[in-house]
Structure 1
Amino acid sequence: MSTSQQQDNVIKVPAGMRVNADGHFVPEASIREQDLLRDQIVMALVPEALSLSRDMAAYKAKALNDISDLIEIAADRYGAKLGGKKGNVSLVSFDGRYKIQRTYREVVAFTEEIEAAKALIDSCLIRWSEGANANIRAVVSQAFRKNRNGEISTGKVLDLMRMEIDDEEWNRAMAALKDALKSNGTAVYIRVYERIGTTDQYKPISLDIASL
C-alpha cells in the first residue's frame, strides 16, 4: 500500500471526539478521567518502545555485518574461501572485559503427524493407568501443553524422545514424533557479555526488556 493510500485510510476524527476500540466515535467529554489518563500513558510509552525496537533491530543488523566482515578479513589473511552458512563465533575484547557471541539455532516446528503421536501416547497412558509412574504421566502431560501462543514446547517433546520405555506402542509414538519434526530454517542471535570482576565468568548484558 502506498503512502497516499495509507493516508486516505486514516480515520478523520472530529474535534472533541475520540475513537474507541470498536471504531466508534465517542465524545471526549463523556470519557472517564481515568480512561484518559491511561490512554495518555500508553500513547506516550508505545512510541518510545517502537523507537527502541527499531534501534535494537539496527544494532543486531550492524553487529551481524561487523562480525561477518571480521571473519572475512581473517579468511582473506589466510587465503581461505568461506562457503555455506557461517557458524557460531565468540569475540572477546583485548582486555577480556567484554565478549560477544554470534550463535545459530535451528528452528523446529511440528507437522500434523504430532497428533498421531499424541494419540498413541494417550493410548499408552490409558493402558498403563494402573501401574504407570505418576512422574511419567506428568512429563507427558506437560510436554503437550500449549503456551499462550498456542505452540507446543519443542524442548519438552524432545525430552519425551529421550525416555527409554520398552513398549511397542510407545516406540511407534516416538517414531511419529520424529517424523513430525520439521526444520523451519535457522535463527541467529547476538549475545553480549561483561566479565565479572577479574574472574573467568561472564554475565549477560540484557537486551531483553522483560529481564531488566
Structure 2
Amino acid sequence: MTTETKYRQDSFGRLVPEDAIKDIDKLRDDTVREIVAQGLRLQEQMKAWKHQVLADIAAFCDVSAEQYGVKWGGKKGNIALVSFDGKYKVLLAVSDALAFDERLQVAKSLIDECIHEWAQNSSTEIKVLVEHAFQTDKQGNINTGRIFGLMRVKIDHPKWRQAMEALKDSIQVTATSQYLRLYERVGDSEKYQQIALDIAGV
C-alpha cells in the first residue's frame, strides 16, 4: 500500500515534498501557522467584542436621552462613561480624517503674493512657517496640524485673510473613525491609566 506524498508550498510558490524538508523547517512552519491561527481567532473575537461594546454604548445613550424625552441624534462619539465608584472609565472618541482640495493651492498662491508684497518687511519667521506648513511627506500628504498652526497666525491684511478663508474652505472630511479606550483609576489618585488592548501594550 503506497502512502500519498504530502507537499508544502515554499516562498516561491513551489510544491516541495515533505520528505525533502528538514524537520526543524517543518516544526517552524507548524509553530508559525498555529500562532497566526490563534491570533486570527483572537482578532475576530476582539472585532465582535468592539461591535458589541459600541452597540451597548449606543443603547445606553438612547436610554439616557429618553429620560429627557429626546432622541439621540447622529453618530455617538466623544463620550466618557464613568463607573459609579469612579474606578473605571470608557471613552468613545470620534476622529475625522481631513484632506485639502484645490483651494489649498489657491491659498498658497495668495500667501506667496503677501510675502512678495511685504518683501523686506516680512519677517523670516513667517516665511519659514509658511514653507514648513506646506511641506508634504513622502506620500505627498500635507500635515493638517501645520496648516491649522498657520491659520492661527493673526495678520491684518486683506489678502492674508482671503488666503486663510481659502484654507478653511479647502478642508474636507474624508472619513470618520471611532476610537474606544478603557481606563482604570490609578490607586486613590485622580489619574486614569489606559487599559492596554493591543499586544505590544499588554
> Under a length normalisation based on structure 1, what TM-score does the superposition of the two structures give?
0.67
Contact 2:98 2:144 (8 Å CA) reproduced:
yes
For structure 1, the residue ranges without an aligned partner over 5 or more in a row are: 1-13, 29-35
Contact 1:19 1:26 (8 Å CA) reproduced:
no
Contact 2:82 2:90 (8 Å CA) reproduced:
yes
Q: CA deviation digits over 1:62-82, x for unaligned, max 9?
A: 211111122233344x26231
Deviation at 1:209, TM superposition (A): 5.5
The residue number in structure 2 matching 1:175 is 165
CA distance in 2, matches of 1:200, 1:102: 20
Percent sequence identity is 35
Question: Are 2:74 and 1:82 aligned?
Answer: no
Sort the Cα spacing of 1:102 and 1:25 in 2 relative to 1 into closer, same or farther, 3 A. same
Give 1 or 2 for the bigger CA radius of gyration.
Answer: 2
CA distance in 1, matches of 2:117, 2:34: 57
CA distance in 1, matches of 2:131, 2:35: 39
The residue number in structure 1 matching 2:188 is 198
Q: CA deviation digits over 1:92-118, x for unaligned, max 9?
A: 123321100122334432112212222
Report the 3-state secondary structure (helix = DSSP H, G, I; strand = E; otherwise coil) of the residue aligned with 1:155: helix
Greater displacement, 81-90 / 122-131: 122-131
Sort the Cα spacing of 1:185 and 1:19 in 2 relative to 1 into closer, same or farther, 3 A. closer
Aligned length: 188
Contact 2:77 2:178 (8 Å CA) reproduced:
no
Among 79, 89, 93, which residue is 2:83 paired with?
93
Report the 3-state secondary structure (helix = DSSP H, G, I; strand = E; otherwise coil) of the residue aligned with 1:81: coil
CA distance in 1, matches of 2:118, 2:10: 60
Deviation at 1:205, TM superposition (A): 2.4
Q: CA deviation digits over 1:143-201, x for unaligned, max 9?
A: 22334543222232122111111333322221211121123353322121111221112
Question: Are 2:117 and 1:154 aligned?
Answer: no
CA distance in 2, matches of 1:119, 1:133: 18
Question: Are 2:110 and 1:120 aligned?
Answer: yes
CA distance in 1, matches of 2:101, 2:70: 37
RMSD across aligned C-alpha pairs, in angstroms? 3.7
Sort the Cα spacing of 1:140 and 1:95 in 2 relative to 1 into closer, same or farther, 3 A. same
Report the 3-state secondary structure (helix = DSSP H, G, I; strand = E; otherwise coil) of the residue aligned with 2:92: strand
Contact 2:183 2:194 (8 Å CA) reproduced:
yes
The residue number in structure 1 matching 2:134 is 144
Sort the Cα spacing of 1:134 and 1:148 in 2 relative to 1 into closer, same or farther, 3 A. same
Deviation at 1:25, TM superposition (A): 5.2
The residue number in structure 2 matching 1:165 is 155
Sort the Cα spacing of 1:133 and 1:25 in 2 relative to 1 into closer, same or farther, 3 A. farther
Question: Are 2:95 and 1:105 aligned?
Answer: yes
Among 62, 74, 77, which residue is 2:52 paired with?
62
For structure 2, the residue ranges without an aligned partner over 5 or more in a row are: 1-5, 18-24
Sort the Cα spacing of 1:58 and 1:16 in 2 relative to 1 into closer, same or farther, 3 A. closer
Question: Are 2:10 and 1:18 aligned?
Answer: yes
> Under a length normalisation based on structure 2, what TM-score does the superposition of the two structures give?
0.70
